[in-house]
Amino acid sequence: MSDQLDTKTGWLSRDELENIRANVPLVYVDAVPVRVDEAGRVTKVGMLLRQAADGTISRMVVSGRVLYGERIRDALMRHLEKDLGPVALPRIPAEVAPFTVVEYFPDPDVSGFHDPRHHAVSLAFVVPVAGDCTPTQEALDLAWYTPEQAVSEQVRREMTGGHDRLIRLALAHVGQLP
């Protein structure tokens, strides 16, 4: 097993990952970054513009795989810092609990959440961020929307894979679904 898995980073080779994706559901985290006012109400929802798994350019939330041996909290921080920059200052609570669990399937008709690469189980979180956010790595842009804009038809058309539904679920969870 040590020949197949780099235990320091938890990454598998491309071929090994493809084999696992074809046979085993993977664990992911989805994080909906938000800005909140002094009363804790969501005022803005952050969405990345990036290439989605289906090859389209889409608006989406922060998302990524949980590595072997990695705590959920650490995976959230890693992906938030990777996608929003090192000074985003996400405020992850001491007790990390998802607001929902999302299942992505290669067949878009199974759950409404779609990833053509594999079956993935994702723990979804709403995460307030307090610092400056600068999209990094493969993100093309980061835009902040009011809750009303985030669920508008115009923004929803820019999303694929069910992320529009995830935004609606997140806003409903925090009592801000318009």
Condensed to tens digits (0 to 9), the pLDDT of residues 104-117 reads: 999 989 999 999 99
Q: Domain limits of the chain? A: 30-173
For residue 135, pLDDT over 60 is answered with: yes
**Among the ranges given (114-118, 145-149, 155-159), the one the predictor scored with the smallest mean pLDDT:** 114-118
| pTM summary value | 0.88
Give the distance from CA 101 to its chain's centroid. Answer: 12
Confidence class of residue 134 from pLDDT cuts 50, 70 and 90?
A: confident
pLDDT score of 1 more than 70? no
Is 117 in contact with 125 (CB distance < 8 Å)? no
Q: Is the pLDDT of residue 136 over 60?
A: yes
User: What is the end-to-end Cα distance of the chain in Å, rounded?
Assistant: 50
Cα angle 118, 116, 103; round to 5:
55
pLDDT tens digits, 41-89:
999 999 999 988 778 899 999 999 999 899 999 999 999 999 999 899 9
Q: Distance from CA of residue 46 to its chain's centroid?
A: 11
DSSP state of 55: S
pLDDT at residue 2 tops 70: no
Read off the pLDDT of each residue in 131-144 and give the average, rounded to a whole number. Answer: 84
pLDDT reading at 145 higher than 70: yes
CA nearest to 99, candidates 74, 65, 123, 133? 123
Percentage of the residues of the chain whose pLDDT score is greater than 90: 70
Q: What is the mean pLDDT of the chain?
A: 90
- In sequence order, which residues have a C-beta less than 8 Å from that of residue 43 and are 6 or more positions away? 34, 35, 36, 37, 146, 147
CATH topology of domain 30-173: Nucleoside Triphosphate Pyrophosphohydrolase (3.90.79)
- What does the pLDDT look like over 3-23, one tens digit per residue? 444 444 556 788 888 888 888
